[in-house]
Chain A
Amino acid sequence: MTAPPPIYFDNNATTRVLPEAVAAMLPHFSDSYGNASSAHGFGAEVAAALRGARQAVQRLIGAASEAEIIFTSGGTEANNTAIHAALAAQPGRDEIVISAVEHPSILAPCAALERRGLVRVHRIGVDAQGRLDLDAYRAALSERVALVSLIWANNETGTVFPADGLAELAHRAGALFHSDAVQAVGKRPIDLAATEIDMLSLSAHKFHGPKGVGALYLRKGVGFAPLLLGGRQERARRAGTENVPGIVGSGKAAEIAAARMADDLPRIAALRDRLQAGLCAAIPRVLVLGDLRDRLANTLCLAFEFVEAEMILLRLAQAGIAASSGSACAAGGTEPSHVLRAMAVPFSAAHGAVRLSLSRFSTEAEVDRVLAVLPGIIADLRAMSPFWADLVASEPAGGRAGC
């Protein structure tokens, strides 16, 4: 008997590169090797390819102009650039507003600036569903705030922040508004021209493009200072010879994401909903994390009580299923992620959070296999959990299924 093909349900970590994107990249590893800055024909061919990719990304996020797209080495560079640029563009303002559930590529640079005494950082909390505390957000906004940076869609729970409305509030205080939309771009329709958002970060490998390519959207007219200094690439906003193959592949992935989004999203959401309903029906004492009314279509974050996520992942991997957990290896062992802590996930479940994230390549058969395997894994692990034994002893009905 051959093992069934592995199932990849970790698409918020990274995605399969589209064959079309690979095909688009290949010539730029061989024959089409010119430098886009060169005046000769080798360069002109490459410059045209870069322009096509830039326009594809522009269309994917609804930017008004291709000149608003700055290619970077990824989401992390885009996020670092946004913070650096906003502080430079807003002299006299030395506060930054972020949320408690940002990606480390926002949290770490803000913390570093704070340690050096250069800025004051407001970290806005979230509720149990991961929704931003709007009262605290409004209270933090003042004429001292240079930048608001809020994650559009959370990588762990898929919870979506209302970025356009949050941007308007920031502008009333005269602050610039940036959104880390690495998880949102390609997974929901975005029309930046219709919003007041000043800057946005995206990453190609989250929407079936190659790794090592991202972009910072910079609204026309918004002040800027480059993070990397050197040549005049990207209209003198990001020095360094362009990663041409990667950018071209990202352009192809952006083009396909935009073209297929209307078909893909409802299908992916239906698969995710079936997965959620099936797991909730089969497994007692499980919490669905995130804002169920506004969540990425592909993301399902579940917290199982009285079991630890690492063992769930290990058993899933043994069954050929790739997922990820909401906990990180910390110095003192495993502990719930900063996102789960900010959401105050009950301590009985906080160590048992597992994220299943789907993509356009996910199938009904894969969902069926996870539904067939995961309840048994949870039951096995609970059978060896002292807390589960105590629960069953103290309330025999505690084992009823249902989220």
Chain B
Amino acid sequence: MRDFSDKVLHYALNPRHAGMLADANAVGEAGSLGLGQALRLMLRVEPLGEVIEAARFLAFGGSDAIAASEALSRLVIGKTLAEAGQLTGADIAAALDGLPEGRMQGSTLGAQALGAAIAAFRGEAPPLPLQEARPQDAPPPARPARAAPPAAQAMARRAQGAPAFPFPRALAPLTDPAAPPLSAEAEAGQQAQIAAIIDEMRPVFQRDGGDIALTSVVGLQVFVRLSGACAGCMMASHTLGALRGRLVAALGRPFRVIPASGSQGAS
């Protein structure tokens, strides 16, 4: 502990951005219980300008992980997704006045979670989970005295390279993004189809204690409203990715699904 900079200790002990972000629309995770550190980064991105308006995190790990999560949250607020996407682990470490040798994992974790959050917002497959091998003699996850909760189990499986979520992604290749505008009649028909697909997928969101509703369709942008328990959760981000895949497959156009909460996000 004594090798950490004052800034690491200050951020680790006073993480102002720790906690849930109820209206997050870009959530990314990295790490696992087995690795001893994990980060869930929640961002609220203003959909049109793609400016990160708010950032919060939930983190598990040592001083480096907590401090890096705090530093990352401070770094990304006010940046566009494109600007934030340029941030690296080294930038996070620099914001902490450096991390001791051998304890750079926290900053790596931050960069990975940020990449996953941006990918989730864009409906892309998230980067692969942390590829650092578990220590060879790590405790076998067998024989737990009590079963770990489902989400922890899922994260543990992911740490071992299992696919994160069972939803299919990118069902069809993207068609030409500069697709010609449709007639008003076709627009209406298309919106009805989109609404029907969203209705079909509602149970997936409701299963997580939340809900989804179509707000509007503007060109290739499908605005939806998320509510309830899943508004800030990882599952929502990935389920939106699945929804996008369904829309693209069914309608043959490269839609983007843009989540917004409450009254925000309407065209």
Contact = CB atoms under 8 A, between A and B. Distances in A.
Interface string A147-189: 0000000000000000000000000000000000000000000
A336 B58 contact: no
A394 B36 CA distance: 21
Contact of B33 (A329, A330, A347): A347
Q: Give the one of A318, A350, A351, A394 with max B CB within 10 A.
A: A351
A386 B36 contact: no
Interface in A361-403: 383-387, 389-391, 393-395, 398
B146 A344 contact: no
Contacts of A351: 33, 36, 60
Interface residues of A, number: 44
Contact of B63 (A311, A327, A336, A344): A311
Interface in A292-333: 306-308, 310-311, 313-315, 317-318, 327, 329-333
B29 A318 contact: no
A335 interface: yes
Q: Give the one of A287, A310, A330, A331 with max B CB within 10 A.
A: A310
Interface in B128-152: 132, 135, 137-146, 148-152
B80 interface: no
Query: For chain B, what secondary structure do more than half of its interface residues adopt (helix, strand, loop), or is it mixed?
Result: loop
Contact of A386 (B29, B105, B141): B29
A336 B35 CA distance: 10
A159 B162 CA distance: 37
B40 interface: yes
B13 A318 contact: yes
A385 B141 CA distance: 19
Contacts of A395: 149
A351 B62 CA distance: 9
A288 B59 CA distance: 24
Contacts of A344: 139-140, 142-143
A332 B209 contact: no
Contact of A333 (B20, B103, B149): B103
Q: On chain B, which size bracket covers the interface?
A: 35 or more
A18 B249 CA distance: 77
A348 interface: yes
A308 B143 contact: no
Contacts of A350: 139
Contacts of A348: 33, 144, 148, 152
A329 B12 contact: no
A166 B118 CA distance: 59
B262 interface: no
B19 A387 contact: no
B75 interface: no
A266 interface: no
A387 B63 contact: no
Contacts of A391: 149, 151-152
B258 interface: no
A346 B143 contact: yes
B62 A384 contact: no
Interface in B51-91: 57-66
A105 interface: no
A97 interface: no
Q: Give the one of A317, A327, A331, A346 with max B CB within 10 A.
A: A346
Interface string B3-15: 0000001001101
Contacts of A241: none
B191 interface: no
Nearest to A307: B60
B26 interface: no
B58 A393 contact: no
A310 B151 contact: no
Contact of A387 (B33, B66, B105, B141): B33
Q: Give the one of A311, A347, A383 with max B CB within 10 A.
A: A347
Given A333-B37, A351-B36, A389 B132 contact: no
A344 B138 CA distance: 9
Nearest to B41: A386
Nearest to A345: B139
A385 B146 CA distance: 18
A308 B156 contact: no
A400 B65 CA distance: 27
Given A318-B13, A333-B105, A346-B143, A390 B149 contact: yes
Interface of B: 1, 9, 12-13, 15, 18-20, 29, 33-40, 57-66, 102-103, 105, 132, 135, 137-146, 148-152, 155-156, 209, 229
Instruction: Please name the 8 residue pairs, one residue from A and one from B, whose CB atoms are nearest each other, closest first.
Output: A390-B151, A310-B62, A384-B18, A386-B58, A346-B144, A391-B149, A386-B40, A351-B36
Given A311-B66, A341-B139, 13 more contacts: A285-B146, A308-B36, A308-B37, A308-B65, A311-B63, A314-B1, A335-B36, A340-B139, A351-B36, A384-B59, A385-B58, A386-B38, A386-B60
